[in-house]
Amino acid sequence: MKKLINEPEGVLNDALVGFAAANPDLVVNLEDRYISRGPTAGKVALVSGGGSGHEPLHGGFVGYGMLDAACPGEVFTSPVPDQMLAATKAVDGGAGVLHVVKNYTGDVLNFQMAAELAGDDGLQVESVLVNDDVAVENSTYTAGRRGTGGTVFVEKIAGAAAERGADLAATAAVAREVNDRSRSFGIALSANVIPATGKPGFELGDTEIELGVGIHGEPGRARGQVSTARELAGVALDAIHSDMPLSGDVLVMVNGLGGTPLIELYVVYAAVSEWLEGHGATITRNLVGNYITSLEMAGCSITVARMTPELTELWDAPVQTPALRWGR
């Protein structure tokens, strides 16, 4: 394992020190382990969090128009309730706090405990679950679908709603609407290596790929063979389309998993936009780049959200975070 780190156990702390130095306008609490922009009086606050290794998610999305705080766990390990509680208290502006939770057992349980503790302390907390990954089948009998790329859309759009003054129930409703309208599918060309173990999560042959991967280095739903970007985009979009028929205005993200060069993401985006055009959907907004990664995994995920004019307006609203900025 070759990584630009000091000691494997210190990765998260060192990265937070670096993040703090690079973003002097944000508050990084190293003790309680959260990143925040402080409270905004009267505004609903958005708090998210999850395992580290997905950067820029979530810390890179803290700032005007998006999150108020992010709680980074150890690499690929959900954060603990203490962090979430501390962050929730730190950003509560009196209008309540929305927890944006990716649907993983660990994230769900830890956020649930944090919400209970916050409730005990008199805070008003709502939670919204992101579960956009269509690669997970039979989801009613299992832990359900994972939260992946749709998280970026939920955090951006609900963040804009909160910034505009939506109350807690309305902000939560927007977040749930975005989640309901978003679907993702991921493809890995290589595994990643967790610093603490130093070993790849799975081994792939020279021509093998993993179809339907999440963002934690776990193997995918099925193993496949290397193929063209066009075909792989088709596999991902077929899966999405058969779950949620695509038409009308869509917001699309072609997201790099961490080890894939941007030039390839543009090749994929070309294929995605060709496919969608062929199926009568219109891409009105897009993101191409590394937004929710899986350490150095090579591959990409494709996320599509069916948009309404209102959601597009919220998407376009100003955002000023380390990783996403426009409009102000």
Binding site for other proteins (CB under 8 A): 51, 73-82, 104-106, 109-110, 112-113, 135-138, 141-143, 146, 194, 196-197, 199, 201-202, 214, 216-219, 221
7 binds a copy of itself (CB under 8 A): yes
The single residue of 58, 99, 216, 241 carrying the catalytic annotation is 216
Name the minimum Å distance from CB 73 to other proteins. Answer: 5
Quick one: how many helices (H) and strands (E) in the chain?
8, 14
In this structure, the strands spanning 281-289 and 248-256 are parallel
Query: Is the omega angle on the peptide bond into residue 279 within 30 degrees of 0, that is, cis?
Result: no
77 binds Mg ion (CB under 5 A): yes
Residues 293, 215 contacting (CB under 8 angstroms): yes
Using the minimum distance from each CB to other proteins, give the nearer residue, 137 or 277: 137
54 is catalytic: yes
Residues 302, 272 contacting (CB under 8 angstroms): yes
Closest among 180, 177, 147 to 161, alpha carbons compared = 177
Give dist(CA 299, CA 258) in Å, integer: 8
Cross-strand pairs, 319: 326
The footprint of ligand ADP on residues 267-286 (CB under 6 A) is none
Name the minimum Å distance from CB 294 to Mg ion. Answer: 12
308-311 contacts: CB < 8 A, separation 24 or more? 308/249, 311/157, 311/174, 311/177, 311/178, 311/181, 311/251
99 is catalytic: no
* Choice from 62, 118, 246, 295 touching a copy of itself (CB under 8 A): 295
The single residue of 54, 58, 99, 241 carrying the catalytic annotation is 54
Place of tokens 């309730």: 81
Q: Give the chain's radius of gyration (CA, Å).
A: 19
211 binds a copy of itself (CB under 8 A): no
Give dist(CA 286, CA 231) in Å, integer: 20
The footprint of ligand ADP on residues 99-118 (CB under 6 A) is 105-106
Residues 6+ apart with CB under 8 A from 8: 195, 196, 198
Name the minimum Å distance from CB 206 to other proteins. Answer: 19
Using the minimum distance from each CB to a copy of itself, give the nearer residue, 60 or 81: 60
Closest among 38, 69, 73, 26 to 54, alpha carbons compared = 73
H or E stretch including 275? Answer: helix 262-278
Residues 267, 117 contacting (CB under 8 angstroms): no
11 binds a copy of itself (CB under 8 A): yes
Name the minimum Å distance from CB 75 to ligand ADP. Answer: 11
Using the minimum distance from each CB to other proteins, give the nearer residue, 51 or 149: 51
Name the minimum Å distance from CB 171 to Mg ion. Answer: 28
* Choice from 93, 273, 279, 312 touching a copy of itself (CB under 8 A): 273
A 10 A CB-CB count for 326 gives 11
Catalytic residues: 54, 216
Tell me which residues touch a copy of itself (CB under 8 A): 2-7, 11-12, 14-19, 21-22, 52-53, 55-56, 60, 75, 189-190, 192, 206-207, 209, 226, 228-230, 232, 258-271, 273, 283, 286, 288, 290, 293, 295-296, 298-300, 325-326
Residues that bind ligand ADP (CB under 6 A): 78, 105-106
Q: Tell me which residues touch Mg ion (CB under 5 A).
A: 76-77
